[in-house]
Amino acid sequence: MKLSEISDRIEKARAGANIWENVKLLAVSKNVDTNAVENLFSQGQMDFGENRVQELKRKCEILVDLPLKWHFIGTLQKNKINQLITLKPVLWQSCNSFELAVAVDKRLDYRLDTLLEINVANEDSKSGISADEAIDTYRKIKAECKNLNLVGVMSIGAHSDDLKEIIKSFELTYKIFENLQKSGAAICSMGMSADFETAIKCGSNMVRLGRILYA
């Protein structure tokens, strides 16, 4: 699907929900080659996300001449922290514990924009802070990790065929996000290829799209 068609769908969802804030599109490139990234870039896409540090490094090196903005969206293993820091992503979207935040913060020599990952549906298959602990953890990281610049939250919608359950998970994320705005939260990253329009209607201002962009 063309980038312009996806952008139109994002705008329609935003307008339909009477949301005036812009919604940023993050193109997830974890399952495509660099030619696909270059193709999207030629259509105007700047922000791309990878979920493995090694693959992020590889694509950064190959596409070094393009002014791309790279996000890291995967689970960060502690033995990959130094490598990720060296790559200087514009946004680390998947800080999933206070302990990991401290480990990354200790090794940083610059301010890294970061999102707190929340497991709002409390699903074993997903990582992230529980909804009950999210606000306190966010504030604790803010207070104690001076090189991690927390700028918002990220979540994945409930894995369910029941739209009501998906909406419930997005609404809970947005409620947490609203509570954290006074603590500097500006990004609410939620919504993927199958549910991004629903996420936008629930308040998302950043969607992470993969397969739909390359279909």
Summarised one tens digit per residue, pLDDT across range 120-145 is 988 887 889 999 999 999 999 999 99
What pLDDT sits at residue 30?
A: 94
What pLDDT sits at residue 16?
A: 82
CATH number, position 144: 3.20.20.10
What pLDDT sits at residue 121?
A: 87
What pLDDT sits at residue 165?
A: 95
- Residue 114's domain comprises 3-214
What pLDDT sits at residue 71?
A: 98
Tell me: pLDDT of 48 over 80. Answer: yes
What pLDDT sits at residue 18?
A: 78
Tell me: pLDDT of 17 over 90. Answer: no
Our measurement of the distance from residue 195's CA atom to the centroid of its chain's CA atoms, rounded to an integer in Å, reads: 14
All residues at 6 or more sequence positions from 157 whose CB lies less than 8 Å from its CB, including other chains: 121, 166, 169, 170, 190, 191, 192, 195, 198, 199
Tell me the average pLDDT of the chain.
96
Residues in the chain: 215
Strand spans (E) along 69-146? 69-72, 91-95, 112-119, 129-130
Q: Are 115 and 71 in contact (CB under 8 A)?
A: no
Euclidean distance between CA atoms 6 and 1, whole angstroms: 7
- Count up the domains in the chain and report the number: 1
What pLDDT sits at residue 132?
A: 96
Q: The whole model's pTM is what?
A: 0.95
Q: Are 101 and 148 in contact (CB under 8 A)?
A: yes
